[in-house]
């Protein structure tokens, strides 16, 4: 069974990097969004089981996007991975309060990214 | 008017400078991110290389264990397989265009007699001559052996030597009565190494022959039992190469 994965970052480079890393790793259907507003719309259409969410984005930031994803029944069940910068202090606690499940610190390790996706896959299988 | 445009210019400069700084930061972030990818790639490669080495070592250990198990039944041959493998590799080295010195080649040399596991003790240890039925069964050991190794992926390439090491250049060997170039080169090379070791080690019915005598015997079988080209190459290798191997593996 294929899972939809949504990659949200205003930096096209990061989106491309994550998408390329996850290509062919599992039966994923990869979707991208460039900001929070886009993300909410794409998430409602594609019902992702996994969302990578950047914090700093124009229009709607990652924390607020996370909160709104959790409030919508269509998208509330997704595993949300916040992409945080190493020096963002209280971002993690804000994100946790907003309902984020996991964190990936930029610059992120592709191996950590793959491990995280594997763990997510195992949780889904259970 | 002039002042106004000067202020506008300064504003524009400040804006451009901030934009430049933002782009520099972005570029630096991208670089860090790519460095992270490169570091992971290097690490993954190192781990994979270490694992591949470990795998090769355990393949070799498995093959040695198997070849020792086969030889353990054959009390008098000692470390025949290991010596033959070493002789065979020395010969194979002289055919750089045609034979690549892979572990698989060595596996074939070490396991040439693996098919003997299927031969009953009564035949394997029979002191006198074998009757026709016994000889027929005995001569199936290359076939049985090649079937055994073919079933194991990392040994599949060894099958040529295992199956064809008793073929003879003139077509009078077994099990397939192959002749000349139809016999895989690795098996032709091995046949010389095998006989060399058989002649130069003690047997219950005779003491070991000298290397000189063994060379003469092998040379006299050139074009009959052995590939003339392999015999020629064999005679270009110094005595001390074989003597060193015989002294090291005993």
Query: Is domain A3-121 in CATH 3.40.50.2300, yes or no?
Result: yes
Q: Give the model's pLDDT for residue B78.
A: 66
Residue numbers in chain B where pLDDT is lower than 50: none
Q: List chain B residues with CB under 8 Å of A109.
A: 36, 39-40
From CA A26, how far away is CA A2, in angstroms rounded? Answer: 8
Nearest CB partner across the interface for B44, out of A11, A108, A111? A111
Output the six-digit token pair for A66.
């996370």
What would the mean pLDDT of A94-122 be, rounded to a whole number? 90
Beta partners for A106? Answer: A85
- 8 Å CB contact of B26 and A11: yes
Q: Which helix (H) or strand (E) element contains residue A53?
A: strand A50-54
Query: pLDDT digits over A6-26, tens only?
Result: 999 999 999 999 999 998 787
* pLDDT at residue A108 is higher than 80: yes
First to last CA, chain B: 103
> If you count them, how many residues does chain A have?
126
Answer yes or no: are the C-beta atoms of B84 and B109 closer than 8 Å: yes
DSSP state letters, B40-60: HHHHHHHHHHHHHHHHHHHHH
Query: pLDDT digits over B164-205, tens only?
Result: 999 999 999 989 999 899 999 999 999 999 999 999 988 777
The closest of B240, B159, B234, B235 to B189, measured between CA atoms, is B234
Q: Give the model's pLDDT for residue B70.
A: 82
Q: Give the model's pLDDT for residue B76.
A: 60
Question: What's the gap between Cα A40 and its chain centre?
Answer: 12
Q: Give the model's pLDDT for residue B6.
A: 85
- Please state the domain extents for chain B: 1-72, 76-248
Q: Report the predicted TM-score, pTM, of the whole model to 2 decimal places.
A: 0.68
Q: List chain B residues with CB under 8 Å of A14.
A: 33
Q: Does B35 touch chain A (CB under 8 A)?
A: yes
Query: pLDDT digits over A34-84, tens only?
Result: 999 999 999 999 999 999 999 989 899 999 999 999 999 999 999 999 998
CATH fold of the domain at B76-248 = Hypothetical protein af1432 (1.10.3210)
From CA B140, how far away is CA B143, in angstroms rounded? Answer: 5
Quote ipTM for the complex.
0.81
Q: Give the model's pLDDT for residue A87.
A: 66
Q: Give the model's pLDDT for residue B43.
A: 92
């Amino acid at each position: 069974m294929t899972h939809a994965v949504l990659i949200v970052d205003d930096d096209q480079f990061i989106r491309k990097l994550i998408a390329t890393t996850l290509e062919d790793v599992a039966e994923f259907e990869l979707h991208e969004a460039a900001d929070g507003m886009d993300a909410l719309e794409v998430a409602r259409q594609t019902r992702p089981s996994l969302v990578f969410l950047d914090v700093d984005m124009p229009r709607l930031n990652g924390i607020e996007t996370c909160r709104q994803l959790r409030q919508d029944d269509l998208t509330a069940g997704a595993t949300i991975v916040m992409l945080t910068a190493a020096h963002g202090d209280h971002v993690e606690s804000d994100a946790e309060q907003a309902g984020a499940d996991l964190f990936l610190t930029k610059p992120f390790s592709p191996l950590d990214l793959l491990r995280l996706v594997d763990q997510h896959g195992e949780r889904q299988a259970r | 008017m002039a002042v106004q445009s000067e202020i506008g210019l300064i504003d524009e400069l400040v804006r451009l400078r901030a934009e430049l700084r933002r782009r520099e930061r972005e570029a630096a972030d991208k670089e860090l991110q790519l460095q992270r990818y490169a570091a992971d790639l290097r690490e993954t490669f190192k781990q994979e290389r270490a694992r591949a080495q470990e795998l090769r070592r355990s393949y070799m250990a498995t093959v040695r264990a198997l070849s020792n198990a086969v030889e353990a039944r054959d009390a008098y041959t000692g470390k025949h397989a290991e010596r033959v493998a070493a002789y065979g590799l020395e010969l194979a080295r002289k055919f750089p265009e045609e034979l690549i010195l892979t572990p698989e080649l060595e596996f074939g040399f070490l396991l040439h007699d693996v098919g003997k596991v299927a031969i009953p003790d009564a035949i394997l240890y029979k002191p006198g001559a074998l009757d026709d039925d016994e000889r027929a069964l005995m001569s199936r050991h290359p076939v049985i052996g090649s079937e055994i190794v073919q079933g194991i992926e990392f040994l599949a390439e060894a099958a040529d030597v295992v199956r064809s090491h008793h073929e003879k250049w003139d077509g009078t060997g077994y099990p397939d009565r192959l002749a000349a170039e139809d016999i895989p080169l690795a098996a032709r090379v091995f046949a010389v190494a095998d006989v060399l070791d058989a002649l130069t080690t003690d047997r219950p019915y005779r003491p070991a022959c000298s290397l000189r005598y063994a060379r003469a015997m092998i040379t006299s079988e050139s074009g009959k039992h052995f590939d003339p080209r392999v015999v020629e190459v064999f005679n270009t290798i110094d005595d001390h190469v074989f003597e060193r191997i015989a002294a090291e593996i005993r």
